[in-house]
């Protein structure tokens, strides 16, 4: 494709809350500076024409050398940031020479190239300003002082991320006429009457703000489970703690919920806490017939006691039946709420091979990312 994209990388912050004694973008994180990590994703965006980096005024030479070493022959410009994020972006926009522009905070250092592509493609296809956003999984309260006034409906809430994408000429015009300081570029554009749409964000694009964000230790685990369909026509099918109406149930010591069980195994393996058999085996009569939510809740308790918290879960259901599409959104929502972390579900078949291809049962493969709890990080 013809290069049509400019990425403005905002790296001018001093990082006072980080407490590292130097600008945040130049602080080391997992063996590289935060800026180097951010450049890795940004420089691999599809259709990239140029990079413009807003850097601390006192570190322009250092940042220029760092960018040159990271991006190869990609056209780039390093400009002095301003006193505010908005002023830094205004300084950078002067050098933008592409029809589509993405504005990205370097502090979201691990944002993958696929996220840049998703946002940019939305702007290209619709001409509408686009941000990436994630569901809110925590319960949100509105407070006054130390009094809780109400619980906010989180179904209409999203957590905004960057990169945020725009038709470049529209963003430049909005900045030229900005009468106030806004927390992000979408808010500035919205103040002009522009429509803002969103696409799915990415949990990797979290913002580095505090020392705990730098020190985060992560692990991954994989879990699998397989159950055959039962001959008992009265037994319902449970997957992800949810009843799938009209489907034949699965055999098992508990409710046969292969999806929940695979997720449990993935979480336990990531934390080095054994597996579902060693924690909830057939020698534990209290778990006979138990719903998957019981296993998931106890697994989260074990995870927390070991000093970890869940980052996200991805699972794939394998088999001819049940059809996952009609149930996907509900199951993802229920599991995300139960686990307090994003859960995504996909599905596939074996092209008619084996017992799964013969529709004799269901298999699930799950992966889990866990993070060391902030209060357990090594100082």
Looking at 213, 235, 264, the residue that finishes a domain is 213
Q: What is the pLDDT of residue 217?
A: 72
Measured in degrees and rounded to the nearest 5, phi and psi for residue 141 equal: -115, 140
Residues 200 and 260 in one domain: no
For residues 174 and 239, state if they share a domain.
Answer: no
**Residue where a domain stops, chosen among 186, 213, 240:** 213
Instruction: Please tell me whether residues 174 and 234 are part of one structural domain.
Output: no
Tell me, yes or no, whether 236 and 205 share the same domain: no
Same domain, 199 and 296: no
Mark whether 342 and 264 lie in a shared domain.
yes
Both 257 and 154 in one domain: the answer is: no
pTM metric for this prediction: 0.62
Three-class SS of residue 49? Answer: strand
Which domain range does residue 88 map to? 5-213
Same domain, 141 and 184: yes
Domain shared by 133 and 262, yes or no:
no
DSSP assignment of 102-164 equals EEEETTSTT--HHHHHHHHHHHHHH-SEEEEEEE--S-EEEEETTEEEEEE-GGG-EEE-S-E
Looking up residue 171, the CATH number of its domain turns out to be 3.90.550.10
CATH code of the domain in which 275 resides: 3.30.1330.50
d(CA 208, CA 213) in angstroms, rounded, equals 5
Q: Choose one of 160, 182, 213: the last residue of a domain.
A: 213
Nearest CA among 57, 50, 64, 65 for reference residue 12: 57
261/117 same-domain check: no
Q: Are residues 191 and 228 in the same domain?
A: no
Residues near 71 by beta carbon (within 8 Å), at least 6 away in sequence: 39, 43, 51
Structure confidence at residue 379 (pLDDT): 43
Q: How many domains are contained in the chain?
A: 2
pLDDT, residue 16, reads: 60
Mean pLDDT in each 10-residue stretch from start to end of the chain (379 residues)? 95 69 83 92 96 95 95 95 94 97 96 96 98 92 94 93 98 93 94 96 89 78 95 91 91 86 97 91 70 92 92 96 93 94 95 94 96 61
Q: Are residues 225 and 350 in the same domain?
A: yes
Q: Cα(186)–Cα(183) distance, rounded to whole angstroms?
A: 9
């Amino acid at each position: 494709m013809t290069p049509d994209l400019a990425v403005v990388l905002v790296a001018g912050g001093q990082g006072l809350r980080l407490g590292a004694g130097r600008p945040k973008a130049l602080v080391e994180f997992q063996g590289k500076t935060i800026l180097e990590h951010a450049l890795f994703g940004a420089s691999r965006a599809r259709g990239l024409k140029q990079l413009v980096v807003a850097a601390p005024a006192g570190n322009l030479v250092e940042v220029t050398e760092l960018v040159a070493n990271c991006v190869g022959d990609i056209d780039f410009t390093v400009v002095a940031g301003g006193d505010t994020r908005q002023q830094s972006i205004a300084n950078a926009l002067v050098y933008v020479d592409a029809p589509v522009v993405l504005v990205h905070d370097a502090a979201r250092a691990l944002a993958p190239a696929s996220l840049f592509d998703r946002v940019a493609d939305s702007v290209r296809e619709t001409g509408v300003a686009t941000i990436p956003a994630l569901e809110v999984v925590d319960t949100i309260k509105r407070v006054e002082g130390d009094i809780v006034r109400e619980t906010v409906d989180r179904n209409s809430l999203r957590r905004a991320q960057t990169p945020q994408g725009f038709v470049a000429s529209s963003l430049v015009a909005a900045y030229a006429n900005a009468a106030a300081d806004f927390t992000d570029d979408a808010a500035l554009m919205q103040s002009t009457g522009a429509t803002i749409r969103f696409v799915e964000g990415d949990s990797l694009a979290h913002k580095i703000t505090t020392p705990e964000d730098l020190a985060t230790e992560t692990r991954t685990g994989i879990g699998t489970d397989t159950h055959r369909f039962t001959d008992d026509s009265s037994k319902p099918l449970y997957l992800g703690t949810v009843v799938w109406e009209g489907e034949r149930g699965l055999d098992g010591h508990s409710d046969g919920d292969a999806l929940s069980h695979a997720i449990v195994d993935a979480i336990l393996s990531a934390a080095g806490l054994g597996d579902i058999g060693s924690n909830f085996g057939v020698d534990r009569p209290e778990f006979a017939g138990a719903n998957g939510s019981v296993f998931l809740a106890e697994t989260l308790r074990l995870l927390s006691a070991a000093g970890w918290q869940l980052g996200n879960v991805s699972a794939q259901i394998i088999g001819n039946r049940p059809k996952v599409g009609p149930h996907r959104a509900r199951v993802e929502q229920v599991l995300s709420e139960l686990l307090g972390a994003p859960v995504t579900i996909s599905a596939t078949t074996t092209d008619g091979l084996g017992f799964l291809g013969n529709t004799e049962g269901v298999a699930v493969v799950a992966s889990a990312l866990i993070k060391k709890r902030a209060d357990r990080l090594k100082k």
